[in-house]
A = this chain, B = another copy of it.
Amino acid sequence: MSIEQEITCWGLIGASTIASQHMINAIRSQSGHDVLAVMSSSQDRADKYAQEHNVKHAYSSVSDLLSNPKIQAVYISTTNELHYEQVMAAAAAGKHILCEKPLALNLDDAKAMLTSCKDAGVVMATNHHLRNAATHRKIKELVQAGEIGKPLFARVFHAVYLPPNLQGWRLNKPKAGGGVILDITVHDVDVLRFILGAEPVEAIAMGHNADLASQGLEDGVMAVLRFDNGMLVQLHDAFTVKHAGTGIEIHGDAGSLIGRNVMSQQPVGEVILRNEAGEKEIKIEHEDLYVYGVAAFCAAMRGEGMPSCTAEDGVTSLAAALAVSEACQTGSSVIIESPLV
Contacts and interface: CB of A to CB of B under 8 A. Distances in A.
Given A256-B244, A332-B331, A220 B232 contact: yes
A223 B220 contact: no
A326 to B, nearest CB: 13
Interface in A233-256: 233-234, 236, 238, 240-245, 249, 251-256
Interface string A181-218: 00000000000000000000010111010100000000
A160 to B, nearest CB: 11
Given A241-B153, A242-B254, A253-B242, A206 B222 contact: no
A159 interface: yes
B251 A159 contact: yes
A274 interface: yes
Total copies of the chain: 2
A333 B238 CA distance: 21
Nearest to A273: B243
Contact of A206 (B204, B238, B244, B254): B204
Contacts of A172: none
Given A210-B152, A331-B333, A333-B331, A232 B222 contact: yes
Contacts of A230: 208, 210
Interface in A144-180: 148, 150, 152-153, 155, 157, 159
B224 A253 contact: no
A275 interface: yes
Interface of A: 148, 150, 152-153, 155, 157, 159, 202, 204-206, 208, 210, 220, 222-224, 226, 230, 232-234, 236, 238, 240-245, 249, 251-256, 274-276, 327, 331-333
For the complex of A and B, 5 pairs with smallest distance between CB atoms: A331-B333, A243-B274, A243-B256, A222-B224, A204-B204
27 contacts: A152-B210, A152-B240, A152-B241, A153-B208, A153-B222, A153-B244, A159-B251, A202-B331, A204-B205, A204-B206, A204-B331, A205-B224, A206-B224, A208-B230, A210-B230, A220-B232, A222-B232, A234-B236, A241-B252, A242-B253, A243-B254, A243-B274, A244-B256, A245-B256, A331-B333, A332-B332, A332-B333
